[in-house]
Amino acid sequence: MSRREDRAGSAGPASAAVASPSANPVLRGLRPVISLRRITKVYRMGDIEVTALTGVSLDVVGGELLAVMGASGSGKSTMMNILGCLDTPSSGRYLLDGVDVRRLDESVLARVRNRKIGFVFQSFNLIPRTSAVANVEMPLAYAGVSPKERRARAMFALEEVGLADRAHHLPSELSGGQQQRAAVARAIATNPSLVLADEPTGNLDSRSTHEIMDIFARLNDAGRTVVLITHEPEVAELTRRIVRLRDGSVLSDESTAGEHLHASNMGEDTRMGAV
Amino acid sequence: MSWLENIRIALRGLNANKLRSSLTVLGILIGVGAVIILVAVGTGSSQAVQNRIKALGTNTITVLGTGRFGRGPATTGTQSRAATLTAADVSLLQDKNEAPDVLTVSPVISTSVTATNGSATSTMTVTGTTPTYTGASDFQVQAGRNLTSADITQHARVAVVGQTLISDLFSPGSNPIGSVISLGSAQVQIIGVLATKGTTGANDPNAVAIIPYTTAEDRLTGYSASFSELIVQSQSAGDINAAESEVASVLAGANHTTVSALPFRFLNEGSLLSTSQSTNQTFTVLLGAVAAISLLVGGIGIMNIMLVTVTERTREIGIRKAIGAPKSAILGQFLTEAVILSLIGGVVGVIVGVVGSHFKIIGVQPVLSWQSIVEAFGVAVAVGVFFGFYPANRAASMRPIDALRYE
Ligand SMILES: Nc1ncnc2c1ncn2[C@@H]1O[C@H](COP(=O)(O)OP(=O)(O)OP(=O)(O)O)[C@@H](O)[C@H]1O
Ligand SMILES: [Mg+2]
């Protein structure tokens, strides 16, 4: 808990602090889990080039709960895909646990995606015609877990997201919020140290939003690093740090008031409406 | 992820598109079945031809005397002299100094007659010959006795008859030996009965009566001083070609001509066998090749359907890769699907091929060969691996982000 105290002590109205993570006093002295160094991403479509990221630098240390905000098209998903080792930057370096991912070959990257990272997609991305529990088991299968243990761990993950009673339903038989929770269960099933979520509450009503955010809060309390993209200020306010992107670069990087996010006071919290 | 789970996933994938999977399997099935059946037909027809040649006799050369001297129309305008196989030729060939590799020479006069015994009749071939004919033609005297030299010189009215004649003219159980029957206009006494000889072609070798050639000339064909053919037996199978050239040169000498100008036709059992063997082999290989092409087409069908499947499931591939599926797992998953398709096609194709080979096809009884079954099945599976590899590799090589973005 010393980290949290440290942060609480040094946090202030940081909206003026711009772009450089090393300038963020919160992170000083801690070894980052994620380190982006002047990342650019250029999409080429025939003769047209679209620059989605124009030199993003960002450090995230272990155990952080961080929200990425920004207007549509500002490059949030592009950055998240790079963080999740799903896409590669056009230039710049991405150090994951101190290792440059560019130096990792395809099979190592697959293992990193499987063990170290849990990715929650904006569009759920559950495999159709496959039950919720089978979907959650899938990363465990690729991790080489035995079928019996796989089932037990998948059920445990579904219980954590409160979906155990829907375990054998197909994705098409689940509501949007339930699908999103199944996707979260899949992301946490292998017990990854880093959870990345791209607009996990984008399509959800406020109640489902609370449920999902509750899950992330608990994950974070359990020591996992959580990075999530959101458009909703009230969701971002529940995190401890907000990174804003504009036109492919970091506009601001600020710590929020902190301390107010706990599993116990989520749900019908009145403060949600006040923000 | 174990291969057993791979199989389960693949089966679920195939099950989701039953019609499409069945049609793809059908392609392989037809290919495998066709290879097995056509090779069996080829083998069967080749065996039939060889049995027919073997039925000609053991180590025999058949000399057919049907020609005339001179190639083309005679330039002098006079009718060219007929070259015939005569009794003199027979005694020359039997001379060990002239033809040391010849064991026996049997002249043959044959004609088709209706045999009658009381009211029973049977159409059959009468062969006028000498005692050595039965041995040379691979006949066995089952009851009674063979012809003797005395029968020949005495123009004896006796016959050694085949089983078809016995069953046509006599009631079962009765002893035909000693009975007198009519062969056309000739009355002969049965002195021997031949054992059944395997039927191999259109002609029934058991519908035969063997009588002295002298009697045949007297009673049936009239005296013409010539034979329709000579059956020459060589000392051994290895001597058959030597015997053939000796016979040819003796006959050339007797007819005052050269070997190449001889108007007789020589059917050498040994060379007939090897010629037919090689032509039949070519035939079988050709049939097999045609069938193999259909197997190839089946393989292309697998590739086609797997490409469609991979395209359809691009997003699923993206999700799997995003949650940590290694390249090998995706490759294994789709390759398994392709191989299962070809495996099912192969197994059912073998069943269809084996069952189909039990029916006569265009008059040929197919003969199954284990080799063709194993090969067709093996090739089917190999086709699945080969044509499944490209689509599976394409799936496995997709970048996760591209696969996820696929619409
Ligand atoms: N595959 C692609 N090909 C070409 N351009 C792309 C591609 N993906 C994204 N872009 C472009 O890159 C820019 C950033 O896109 P990105 O998806 O990162 O935005 P975002 O911040 O996630 O937006 P939103 O909030 O709407 O999801 C946009 O201008 C977009 O048009
Ligand atoms: Mg986005």
* Pairwise CA distance, residues A161 & A178, whole Å: 9
Amino acid found at A178:
Q
A190/B324 touch (CB, cutoff 8 Å), yes or no: yes
Give the domain range for residue A73: 1-106+192-275
Check if the beta carbon of residue B240 is closer than 8 Å to that of residue B270.
Answer: yes
Q: Is B11 at the interface with chain A, CB within 8 A?
A: no
Ligand 1 midpoint to CA A52 (Å): 6
Check if the beta carbon of residue B230 is closer than 8 Å to that of residue B244.
Answer: no
> How many domains in chain A?
2
ipTM reported for the complex, 2 dp = 0.82
Q: Are residues A183 and A201 in the same domain?
A: no
Last residue of a domain, one of A152, A172, A189: A189
Check if the beta carbon of residue B357 is closer than 8 Å to that of residue B366.
Answer: yes
Nearest CA, atom 6, ligand 1: A43
* Pairwise CA distance, residues B377 & A257, whole Å: 71
Compute the CA torsion angle B327, B333, B335, B340 (nearest 10 deg). Answer: 170
Q: Are residues A267 and A244 in the same domain?
A: yes
Q: Are residues A84 and A202 in the same domain?
A: yes
Q: Are residues A90 and A214 in the same domain?
A: yes
Residues 6+ apart with CB under 8 A from A229: A67, A68, A69, A76, A77, A80, A122, A197, A198, A199
Last residue of a domain, one of A189, A206, A233: A189
Q: Which residue of A has its CA nearest to B330?
A: A142
Check if the beta carbon of residue B114 is closer than 8 Å to that of residue B198.
Answer: no
Q: Which of A74, A90, A196 to mutate to test the pocket of ligand 1 (most atoms within 8 A of CB)?
A: A74
State the average pLDDT over residues A198-220.
Answer: 85
Give the domain range for residue B288: 3-52+275-405
Q: Are residues B196 and B135 in the same domain?
A: yes
Check if the beta carbon of residue B93 is closer than 8 Å to that of residue B136.
Answer: no
Last residue of a domain, one of B208, B239, B269: B269
Calculate helix-pair angle for B370-396, B269-312, nearest 10 degrees.
20
Q: Are residues A82 and A166 in the same domain?
A: no
Beta-bridge partner residues of A59: A35
Instruction: Find the CATH number of the domain harbouring A85.
Output: 3.40.50.300
A127/B322 touch (CB, cutoff 8 Å), yes or no: no
Calculate helix-pair angle for B327-356, B18-54, nearest 10 degrees.
40
Last residue of a domain, one of A154, A189, A224: A189
Q: Are residues B80 and B45 in the same domain?
A: no
Q: Which of B316, B319, B324 sits opposite A110 (nearest CB)?
A: B324
B324/A144 touch (CB, cutoff 8 Å), yes or no: no
State the average pLDDT over residues A259-266.
Answer: 43
pLDDT of A5 reads: 40
| Mean pLDDT computed over every residue of chain A | 83
Per-residue pLDDT of chain B (407 residues; tens, 9 = 90+): 677 888 888 888 888 889 999 999 999 999 999 999 988 988 888 888 877 777 766 688 888 876 444 343 433 433 345 567 888 888 888 888 888 888 889 999 888 888 888 888 888 889 999 999 988 888 889 889 999 999 999 999 999 999 888 888 888 888 889 989 998 888 999 999 998 876 655 677 888 999 999 998 888 887 777 888 888 988 887 788 888 888 888 888 888 888 888 888 888 877 777 777 788 888 888 888 888 888 889 899 999 999 999 999 999 999 999 999 999 999 999 999 999 999 999 999 999 999 999 988 887 889 888 888 998 899 999 999 999 999 999 999 999 999 988 87
- In tens, the pLDDT along A32-87 reads 899 999 999 999 988 999 999 999 999 999 999 999 999 999 999 999 999 999 99
Last residue of a domain, one of B243, B269, B295: B269
Last residue of a domain, one of B269, B301, B319: B269
Backbone angles phi, psi at B280, to 5 degrees: -65, -35
Q: Are residues A220 and A155 in the same domain?
A: no
* Pairwise CA distance, residues A230 & A236, whole Å: 7
The answer to the question of residue A115 being in a domain is no
Q: Are residues A72 and A25 in the same domain?
A: yes
Q: Are residues B231 and B119 in the same domain?
A: yes
